[in-house]
Structure 1
Amino acid sequence: MSAPASIAFLGFGEAARAFHATLAEANPQLRFSAHDIKLGGAGDAAMRAAMDAAGVRICERPEDLGGAEWIVSAVTADQSLIAARSVLGVLTADTVLVDINSVSPGRKQQTAAEVEARGAAYLDLAVMAPVHPRGHRTPTGAAGHAMDRLAPALDALGFDWTRAGEAPGRATAVKMVRSLFVKGLEALTVECLLAAERSDCLPEILGSLARSYPGLGWPEIAAYQFERTLVHGHRRAAEVEEVAVSYDDLGLTGALAAAIAQVQAAMGRAGESVTPGGDLAALIAEVNAARRGE
C-alpha cells in the first residue's frame, strides 16, 4: 500500500494535533479532515479555532469523515470503541482505521473485529513516548492483520514504528504492561512527597530518596512527575483504568493499576487550579492545599 492521500482524525486533541502538525510538514500533499465530540457542545468554539488554525476540514459528524483513506482514532480511552462504531458505516475496503488509543488488548481486538467485518483494515498503533515534539515520529509499536500491506505506507509517511506482531492488541499490550510502571512511578512519587510535606519531613524524604536512588535524578525527577500528572492526570487516569483491565484479564492485580488511576485523577483535578513550575517545595504545598479542598 502506498502512502494515503487523505487522513482524517477522529478526535482532535493533543495527540491528533501533534500527529497532524508533523505529518503536514513532512507530507505537504496530504489532505486532512477532523471530527471531535466537542463540536456542537462544550468547547465548540475552541475546537473549531484549533481545527481552523491547523487547516483541517471540519467534519460536523463522524460519518462526514467518510472518503478519507486513513481514519486516525485519537480519543479518550473510555470512548475508543464508541468512536470506532461511529464511523463503521463509512468504512470501505480502501479504508484503514488507525487506533492510537491507550486501551486494553481486549478492547483493540474487539474494535478490530468490528472494523474488519466491514472490509476495512485495522492498525493497532501504540504510542510509546510523549507526542511532543516528534509528533508522528514518536516511537510506536504497530500490530494488525494488514501489517505487510501497511508497512510501506508507514515508512513513506515517516513514522518511527516497530512491528509488534500480526494480532491486533499486540502493540497495545506492550504499552499497557509498561504503563503500570511508568504511571505508577509518577503516582508513587507525587503521593509520597505529598505525604512528606503533610508530615513535615519533605527535606528528609527527598534526601533519603536521592541517596537510595541517585540514578533517578532527584529532585528533578520529582518536579517532572508533578508536571506530568498535573497537566495530564485526567488522560493518564483513563489510560491506567485500561491498564487495570489488562492486568485483570491476565489474572494479575488490576487493583494496583486502579489505585494508580485514582492518584492520577486526583492530580488532574489539582491541575485545574495549580500550575506546575517554580520551587518544588512550594509546588508540593500548593498541590496539597488543592487536594485537601476536594
Structure 2
Amino acid sequence: MESTIALIGFGEAGSTFAEAAGWRSAALAFDVLPCRRAAMERAGVVACAAAEDALSDADIVLSLVTADSTLSAARDYAALIKPNVLWCDMNSVAPDTKRAAALAIEAAGGRYVDVAVLAPVNPARMNVPLLLAGKAAPSAEALLRALGFCNTRVVGTDIGRASAIKMIRSIMVKGVEALTAEMMLAATKAGVVDEVLSSLDASEKSQSWFARAEYNIERMTTHGLRRAAEMEESAKTLIGLGVEPVMTSGTVRRQRDMAGKKLPFDTNGCGDVIGVMTE
C-alpha cells in the first residue's frame, strides 16, 4: 500500500475499518485512551504513543474521535501534519464545527475534507455509505476507494454540506429512537405494550414494531451518550438554519437518559427483550 494512513481515534469505527481493510502496518493509530492499544495490536496497525508519531508522515488522516473532541483534535494536531495531507473528518458534528476545524487544518497547510458516515460501521464495514464535501473531496474519494471504502460520493465543494445532510437526517433517525423509548416507557407503565405495538403493526407493515422497538431501545442503551452528543450537533445545525430545535433538544435528553439503562420492556413477540436489556 503506497499511502500512509493515520487513524486519530481507535474506537469502534477505527478498529472496524482497520480490521476490515487489512491496512496493517500501513496505518498508524493514536488514541488518547491507552486501553485502545490492545485493539490496535489485534488489528495489526502501528500503535503510537503520541499523536505526532501517527501524523508526521501521513498522506491521509481519518479523524474518528468523539463529537465533542472534533474541533480540539483539529486545532491541537494541526501543527503536526505535513503539507497537503488529506484530513478526513469523519465525525458526526454540525457544519459550523466542521468549518471551524477546516480553518485550523488548512492554516497548517492540510486539505480538509468533510466526511459524513451515514450508517453504523457494523455490519457495513468498508461498504458504509460516505458522503464527502470540500475542495479536496474528489482527491479524498479516490484515495479512500484505494484504501478499500467502496460506497463513497462527493456531494459538493463546500465544507459542511456533507455534515448538514448527516445531521439533518439524524434528526429523524435518532428522534424516532427517542420517541420509541418514550412510547415504551408509557406503554409498559400502563400495561398496554402488546396493544400499542400491534396497533402500530396494523398501520405500517414494513417492519414489525416488536422488532423495531427492541432495536431502537438497544441502540440508545448501548450508544446513548454518543448519540446524545451527535444530536446536540444536530440542534446546533437547526439553530444555524434559524429553526428552533424543540424536538431535537428533547431527543438529546432522552438519548442521554437511556444510556446504560436496564429496562424491563417485554414485547412478547421477538424474543426475550428483558434478557437483551439486562445482559
Q: TM-score, normalised by structure 2?
A: 0.90
Kept in 2: contact 1:20–1:135 (CA 8 A): no
Kept in 1: contact 2:132–2:156 (CA 8 A): yes
Specify every segment of 5 or more residues in structure 1 that has no aligned partner in the other structure, as ranges: 288-294
Q: What residue number does 2:112 align with? A: 122
Greater mean alpha carbon deviation, residues 108-117 or residues 249-258 = 249-258
Give the letter aligned to residue 167 of structure 2: M
Q: What residue number does 1:267 align with? A: 258
Kept in 1: contact 2:58–2:81 (CA 8 A): no
What do you get for the CA RMSD once the two structures are aligned?
A: 2.3
User: For residues 183-209 of structure 1, what are the alpha-carbon distances to aligned partners after superposition, in whole Å with 9 as ceiling and x for unaligned?
Assistant: 001111121011110122212211222
Say which SS state the counterpart of residue 210 (structure 1) adopts. helix
Give the letter aligned to residue 268 of structure 1: A
Q: What residue number does 1:18 align with? A: 16
Q: What residue number does 1:165 align with? A: 156
1:157 & 1:88 partners in 2: Cα distance? 23
2:94 alignment partner, one of 91, 95, 104: 104
Q: Which has the higher contact order (CA 8 A, sep 6+)?
A: 1
1:87 & 1:100 partners in 2: Cα distance? 16
Kept in 1: contact 2:84–2:110 (CA 8 A): yes
Q: TM-score, normalised by structure 1?
A: 0.86
Q: Does 1:153 align with 2:151?
A: no
1:253 alignment partner, one of 244, 252, 256: 244
User: For residues 247-294 of structure 1, what are the alpha-carbon distances to aligned partners after superposition, in whole Å with 9 as ceiling and x for unaligned?
Assistant: 1111112232121011111121316x99999423x469x68xxxxxxx
2:42 alignment partner, one of 53, 67, 75: 53
Q: What residue number does 1:86 align with? A: 76
1:137 alignment partner, one of 127, 132, 153: 127
Q: Does 1:227 align with 2:225?
A: no
Q: Does 1:9 align with 2:4?
A: no
Deviation at 1:87, TM superposition (A): 1.2
Deviation at 1:238, TM superposition (A): 0.9
Specify every segment of 5 or more residues in structure 2 that has no aligned partner in the other structure, as ranges: none
1:279 alignment partner, one of 244, 248, 272: 272
Deviation at 1:10, TM superposition (A): 0.7
Kept in 2: contact 1:4–1:153 (CA 8 A): no
State the identity as a percent: 38
Say which SS state the counterpart of residue 102 (structure 1) adopts. coil
Q: What residue number does 1:292 align with? A: none
